Amino acid sequence: MSTAPKEFAFDVVVVGSANLDLVATLDHLPKPGETIVALSYAEHAGGKGVNQAVACARMGARTAFVGCVGNDDAGLFLRGVLENEGIDTTMLRVVDMPTGRAFINVDSRGENEIVVISGANTQVGVAQNPLVLPTSHVLLMQLEIPLATVAAALTAAQKSGAITVLNPAPYKSLTEEILSLVDVIVPNETESAACGGTQALLDAGVKTVLTTLGERGAIINTQTSATSIAPHKVVAVDTVGAGDAFIGALSAELARGAAINDAAAVGAVAGALATTVRGAVPSLPTQTSVRSAMNKQ
């Protein structure tokens, strides 16, 4: 994997989803037909694309976001969140559909149930047709947008010399055409199993498989090597956003020219720190906090 040219416009371009998360805290999850009263309610920025773009920006990467929102208050809110983080929104399009939403119920034990309405996210790549991406050291993508857009963006990024990073979440069946365009795929254990396992991903043409293992760290596999990444020990209170923090830090470090092992080590610290704060976007750590934690190891 080669270091990308310095003349690229951005460190990381994120092509992905933008959702408004509507979160109800409950004593227990409702049974079919049951109506219950929530203990509390909150609205947060969400969508794996937004989360990971914010994670990259907080790690010091010059970040651009490519996505879609609706012409509604949720869309204005999400645009504001991105711009407040210093993220370029030139390619964030407004479409004639509601902004994506996730309805999340969380009970007193931390169990949850989630319903996602894709809304404007179904138009990512369609609204930007033709999909002409700004140049970047790294292209970062997830699977909450159309697979045709994923394929088109990966193709364009490889032609421009960018490092392509894919988080296969939520899981969708991926063709060898798509996988062959991926430099680094970052699944968790469940997503890796759904994809057929590490060797199947490598055989399909992925150059590097970086599997996150939660509190056990991560493992990096290529066709010729396997390297374990040690976990960063913390007292976790909420694992939401940990994977996004990991991949955001990883992408920011790769954009700075770090080797994959070193970038993953930084990602492991960022992911661990995210578990010490509740929520997704609120938990995403800054570069300063990650470096400080690494210096104390």
- Please compute the mean of the pLDDT values over residues 275-290 and round it to a whole number: 90
Q: From 38, 42, 40, select the one nearest 23 (Cα to Cα).
A: 42
> What values do phi and psi take at 188, rounded to 5?
-85, -175
Give the range of the structural domain holding residue 245, as residue numbers without chain letter.
10-28+39-295
Residue 136 lies in a domain: yes
- Please compute the mean of the pLDDT values over residues 172-193 and round it to a whole number: 96
Structure pTM? Answer: 0.92
Residue 276 lies in a domain: yes
Q: Which two tokens stand for residue 53?
A: 């773009």
**β strands within the chain, DSSP E:** 10-15, 19-25, 40-46, 63-70, 88-95, 100-106, 112-117, 136-141, 163-166, 184-185, 208-212, 218-221, 226-229
Beta strands 100-106 and 218-221, pairing class: unpaired
Residue type, 102: A
The whole-angstrom separation of Cα 265 and Cα 13 is 22
Q: What is the pLDDT of residue 36?
A: 95
Does residue 221 contact residue 208 with C-beta atoms inside 8 Å? Answer: yes
Residue 140 lies in a domain: yes
The whole-angstrom separation of Cα 276 and Cα 284 is 10
Q: What is the pLDDT of residue 4?
A: 45
Percent of the chain with pLDDT over 90: 80
Residue 100 lies in a domain: yes
Residue 33 lies in a domain: no
Residue 5 lies in a domain: no
- Tens of pLDDT along 224-254? 999 999 989 888 877 788 999 999 999 999 9
- Tens of pLDDT along 2-48? 454 457 999 999 999 999 999 898 999 999 999 999 999 989 999 99
| Mean of per-residue pLDDT scores for the chain | 93
Q: What is the pLDDT of residue 6?
A: 55
Q: What is the pLDDT of residue 5?
A: 44
State the CATH number of the domain containing residue 288. Answer: 3.40.1190.20
- Tens of pLDDT along 92-127? 999 999 999 999 888 887 778 888 899 999 999 999
The whole-angstrom separation of Cα 182 and Cα 39 is 43
**DSSP at 216:** G
Total residues found in the chain within this entry: 297
Lowest mean per-residue pLDDT among 113-117, 192-196, 199-203: 113-117
The whole-angstrom separation of Cα 242 and Cα 279 is 10
Among 11, 21, 88, 244, the active-site one is 244
Told to judge if 72 belongs to the known catalytic residues of this protein, a careful annotator would answer no
Q: What is the pLDDT of residue 240?
A: 80
Total number of domains in the chain: 1
Residue 34 lies in a domain: no
Residue 4 lies in a domain: no
Does residue 127 contact residue 18 with C-beta atoms inside 8 Å? Answer: no
- Please compute the mean of the pLDDT values over residues 186-203 and round it to a whole number: 96
